[in-house]
Amino acid sequence: MMAVPSARAAETRERILSAAAEEFAERGYAGTSIGSIAERAGIGKGLVQYHFKAKVDLAVTLVQATFAQAPFANVVTTDPPPRGIAAIVASIRAVSRAFRDTVRVRAAVRLVREYDIIPVVFPTPYVGWMAVMAQCLRDATDDGDIPPGLDFETEGWHLVATFTGVQETSHRLTQRQDLPERIEEMLQRQLRLFGVVDPERFLRQGSNQAPIS
């Protein structure tokens, strides 16, 4: 019998992906199996395998979906889009919110970190975001918001590396409960390092707003 794509099938597929995301986020790639995903989704193992042949296919689907999507693709959805320092603040807040609130993002990030035990090539993390941050710093310099003389590539590297460490440390010590305040502390320090004139004007709008969705 041929499968007929249907709303029901799409719904089952989403249910499997949600269960897989929870499993991968909590237990990692090695700790997850088609069986544990089926159990969490409350469906049979055969139905999972009808939609996704193997565990690795679920991992790839989750990673691709996350990295194709704002804020990871650095898609800006406000009009006008933020620029310079405002764009850096919006991007870092949006990514940290996504880590904290979205289990599919947490799963994807963990899977990418576990790349060396997963038999597939994932996109290289960090480098795209570093380039975008470097460009924002260049724009901020052009706009007169920071003094000239910054090495944009080096600062972009350290900005992304620092974010990575803040989210990893908050994850390990508080399951990301303190991530929003740690991100604000980090932004204050970074803006000070860049020599931003009057940094508060970029920070006072509050971390619960969503300039990038």
Give the number of other CB atoms < 10 A from CB of residue 154. 11
Query: Least distance from C-beta 166 to a second copy, angstroms?
Result: 5
Query: Least distance from C-beta 41 to a second copy, angstroms?
Result: 21
| 45 Cβ contact partners less than 8 Å away, ≥ 6 residues apart | 34, 35, 38
Q: Which two tokens stand for residue 58?
A: 């679920």
User: Closest CB to a second copy among 25 and 136?
Assistant: 25
Query: Least distance from C-beta 50 to a second copy, angstroms?
Result: 27
Interface residues toward a second copy, by CB under 8 A: 26-31, 114, 116-117, 124-127, 154, 157-158, 160-166, 168-170, 172-173, 182, 185-186, 189, 192-193
| C-alpha to C-alpha distance for 187 and 89, rounded to whole angstroms | 7
CA 37 centroid distance within chain: 22
User: Closest CB to a second copy among 68 and 173?
Assistant: 173
Would residue 200 be called left, alpha or beta, if left means φ above 0 and alpha means ψ between -120 and 50 degrees? alpha
Q: What is the DSSP letter of 52?
A: -
User: Closest CB to a second copy among 31 and 44?
Assistant: 31
Query: Least distance from C-beta 199 to a second copy, angstroms?
Result: 13
User: Closest CB to a second copy among 8 and 172?
Assistant: 172
